[in-house]
Amino acid sequence: MGVMVADRAGKDALFDGFAEIAKALGNGRRAELVDVLAQGERHVEDLAAEIGQSIANTSFHLRTLATVGLVATRRDGTRVYYRLASAQVAELWSVLREVAVAHHASIDELAAAYLGDRDALELVRRDELVRRIADGDVIVVDVRPHLEYAAGHIAGAVSIPIERLARQVRNLPADVDVVAYCRGPFCVFADDAVRLLRKRGRRARRLEDGFPEWRNASLPVQTAPIPERTS
Amino acid sequence: MGVMVADRAGKDALFDGFAEIAKALGNGRRAELVDVLAQGERHVEDLAAEIGQSIANTSFHLRTLATVGLVATRRDGTRVYYRLASAQVAELWSVLREVAVAHHASIDELAAAYLGDRDALELVRRDELVRRIADGDVIVVDVRPHLEYAAGHIAGAVSIPIERLARQVRNLPADVDVVAYCRGPFCVFADDAVRLLRKRGRRARRLEDGFPEWRNASLPVQTAPIPERTS
DNA sequence: CTCCTCCTCAAGGAACTACTTGAATAGTGG
DNA sequence: CCACTATTCAAGTAGTTCCTTGAGGAGGAG
């Protein structure tokens, strides 16, 4: 110890350790897994379907994430449920995406190709939505799969999974603004919802990001399941 | 567009794009480069020496970082200077380290092996240091290489690069607390400084992290070079 | 212009990564 | 205890990454 020649091997090993975390996120399929897990815990089979990979491969990717501590597991009966190790991991994922949007030239094109033209979708910022919920002049619709809604959602939101939205539009009051949200800024569900609602003549916009960002900002959430609006 | 089957290829491509950013940080040498560049811009030869790699290899790693937009360049005469693309990148690096510390089991050992026993080093938190600087009852010492100090430092800090500290201890007033800082929470300079100062009977502690975190927290910095304390 | 310095690019080999298929394991429910 | 289900492990292959060496630019000084 003390003031001496730099300990190259030790420094390299430490930074290799940091790099392992980045490497774990350095695969598109694992990134998708983290994105889904930010909504709440899921079992392997379910996750495999979500990312469109084989179960064995998905299990392998989950192990990679678990080895560096980004995810944790819990067994329930025959199933193994994976979850993010902490909200900090969701925060890391969020910052990573922001940097990608700000600096990585090709993200714009890729996002445009996947999400379609977003110019018409007018984003609602979190603070604006907080205010409008307080004023009570807006309906907040969670268009994620119902299980994700049940695991946690924006306080006061109703659950209408995107695939049921077309059938349930008529149950929404016609003269109130609708704000749709889903998993995050790069999730298509809310985009699709806004387009559909507008086609039906409703005033609809989407939240700028999704539930994980809302929760990480310490804004009010509900975790007790609320009965889904049925027709 | 609209409510239809998920566009798997498009989604995969987008998330591969995000993963590229992580992949760029997913190498220990590139992580070291980002850590150094968070202090300010540097030219290639200098960076190669800093990370202990060949110039060609360093140039290659820098190109990798530049391709995904994490770093930017500027030419001055025959030299090419690299810098982080923005403060957001330093923020990403910082969050990544925090997650590593919180969740990656082996970081503790690696950090202990590299940094030595830190228990005795009593950390000073940023907010405490802000208060004590305002009270004027502390000397803040920047122990990084002088060029990094010149590129930006905590407002009011004096520059005593670690390799000169032993010779300059006598010039520090004896009855005032000293707080040392350097590049970040995993930089050895400040640790070494505190150990040295204590051996000489001074009251010394280290700042919890380093200059990049101070600047990113929007705390007061100086960028105009201040004459170095000489003996 | 010519030389020099600093940096980047290209080729090549060792080591690693991603995904597939098929076998093994752990825990449950009867 | 047996059969079953969900998950993990193992082996194999195609593709990628890291680092080295040496050649090829770009810009400035003389």
- Token reading at A152: 């946690």
- Give B121's DSSP letter: G
Query: Where exactly does CATH 3.40.250.10 map onto chain A?
Result: 117-222
Q: In which residue are the tokens 């009966």 written? A: A77
Task: Please tell me the distance from the alpha carbon of residue B6 to that of residue A177, in angstroms, as a whole number.
Answer: 27
Q: Which residue is nearest to nucleotide D5 (CA to C1')?
A: A78
| Neighbouring C-beta atoms of residue A141, cutoff 10 Å | 28
Q: Which of B112-116, B126-130, B159-163, B190-194 has the lowest mean pLDDT?
A: B112-116
The answer to whether residue A49 neighbours chain B at the CB level (below 8 Å) is: no
Q: Is the CB of residue A143 less than 8 Å from the CB of residue A225?
A: no
Task: Give the tokens for residue B77.
Answer: 């005469």
Class level of CATH domain A117-222 = alpha beta
Q: What is the pLDDT of residues B4-18, one digit of tens each?
A: 446 889 999 999 999
pLDDT at B229: 36
Reported as a single tens digit per residue, the pLDDT across B206-217 is 999 999 999 999
Task: Write the pLDDT tens digit of every residue in A81-132.
Answer: 999 999 999 999 999 999 999 999 899 999 999 998 888 788 999 999 999 9
Residues B196, A17: C-beta atoms closer than 8 Å: no
- How far apart are alpha carbons A14 and A8 in whole angstroms? 10
> What mean pLDDT comes out for the span B101-113?
92
Nearest partner of B18 among A21, A50, A103, A58, judged by Cα: A103
What's the pLDDT tens digit per position in A138-195? 999 999 999 999 999 999 999 999 999 999 999 999 889 999 999 999 999 999 999 9
Give yes or no for residue A4 having a pLDDT over 70.
no
CATH 1.10.10.10 maps onto chain A at 8-90
CATH 3.40.250.10 location in chain B: 115-222
Quote the pLDDT of residue B197. Answer: 95
CA distance B184 to chain A (A): 13
Query: CATH classification of B8-90, choosing from 1.10.1530.10, 3.30.300.20, 3.30.559.10, 1.10.10.10?
Result: 1.10.10.10
What local confidence, expressed as pLDDT, does residue B1 receive? Answer: 42
CATH number of B115-222: 3.40.250.10
Q: Mutate which of A1, A7, A14 to test chain B, going by most B C-beta atoms within 10 A?
A: A14
pLDDT of B131 over the 60 cut: yes
- Residue bearing tokens 């714009």: A108
* pLDDT confidence tier of residue A6, bands split at 50, 70 and 90: low
Looking at residue B6, its pLDDT comes to 61
Q: What is the mean pLDDT of residues A214-218?
A: 95
